[in-house]
Structure 1
Amino acid sequence: MLNFNGTLVSDTERLLSVNNRGFKFGDALFETMKIANGKVIFWEDHYFRLMASMRMLRMKIPMDFTLENLEKEILKTIPPETTNTTCRGRLSVFRKDGGLYTPATNEVDFLIEISELKVEKKEAYRIDLFKDFYNYSGLLSTLKTNNKMLSTVASVYAEENDLDNCVLLNERKGVVEVTNGNIFVIKGNTIKTPALTEGCLKGVLRKKIIEIIESNDLFTIEETVISPFEIQKADEVFITNAIVGIQAVTNYRKKTFVTDVSDKLSKSLRILEITGKA
């Protein structure tokens, strides 16, 4: 089921023109959300990230783009047969058709897609570096835009090399993220994740995991510069995104990791999703 500007339509209906700016210029933002029991998980965080991103890209925010109205639009798009199941939702916002690099207008359209979600975390999860191209640091890299060519090429590379994911590096050869989420590295009682100034996505789950760690007296969290060498020397590594939650990494090159802390954080995350409290 699709929702285009508030109207429910079939997923077989033609909606976008050849002049769609998301298609032609990548002039679009999106939020990928998990929906469970009629609730958009961490909706406020998704909403405020979207609003901040729209302002940064100089998109005109419609008056009815309120927290409550957009949530209603998402929930009304859920197909009746999936009401009691976990779903994946994607809310895309793109400037209206027209113009070349300079848009004809800064007004926007939105599209909501809902599908049933079946997440299976892998017991064995292998990663390695992707070094063909860099994820350049800067504020634009922290936004969830339609420009995902680097993640696409890195994902193809991972598939060709029997990997489950790839670590992306910035122009300074520091660790940024993986193709579909943020990365955390554990050594002793310190958990590190790349700082936003490294160019990583300002992930909703990244924010939530940092909150969970900060509430735990056993660990300290550092948002900092991470070298690929630190992955090799880590005790544990895990990645996060809004759909999977926490995926523990078991192998990096010849290194094998345990998953003890990752498993404990996953339990805390499930409690946070249900109660809203870390």
Structure 2
Amino acid sequence: MGRWSRRVAEQFVAWLDADEGLRWLDVGCGAGGLTAVVAARCRPRTVVGVDRSENFVAHARASASPHAHFVVADAMALPVRDETCDAVVSGLVLNFLPSPAAAVARMARATRPGGMVAAYVWDYAEGMGFLRRFWDAAIAVDPAAATLDEGRRFPVCRPEALRAVWSGAGLEDVSVVPVEVPTVFTDFADLWDPFLTAQGPAPGYVAALDPGDRERVRDALSATVPPQADGSVALTALAWAVRGRRPDPSRPTARRHVG
């Protein structure tokens, strides 16, 4: 996933069209990809990335800009006071949290009145071309694999669910848009080999298979992704971006959701 996530972050930040000089918080920052885009594009007053992984935070600190700071902390227990951030964002994290709704509610509390809460998630259910084809192939070989399919396991990966979570957190002016990036693999091996890393739900499933079943899943996937004339495999990956604002009592009017 990592090779495509920076492209989504770039489009997401451009869509937010935020003012300069804001105080940002990046929840579940991982290795700091979204934090780096905010620092480069938005001229923030400060941007703080938080992640529970010490290794991710160490990696992010090693390449951080002067405006970016990183803290080891849990997304469900943010290390900031209420109403202290102008913009709280999260990239590709919500579905991996124990309660996405509770996490967004906490993000909203950290945001000042009138401030922005925004995130993006992969569309595991329909829009992740190579991952959707993988699980369809795996399920055709092993129907029990359906229980591991992120499209079924992750509830907040479609626009309706994102709107509901944002509105449920009391946020206004909620908008959801698609963000699509091309995912071009040099050949089938370039697509398949990452599934052999044992990192993540799909690679973990592959690692647990016996060699025969692993080859059957590989062959079933290969049959669904015919190569281009040059041998490459061209697919697309879809994410959904969502944003909303914390209600500001000083505003004369308020809209519950748009878009």
TM-score (norm 2): 0.24
Q: Which has the higher contact order (CA 8 A, sep 6+)?
A: 2
TM-score (norm 1): 0.23
Higher helix proportion: 2
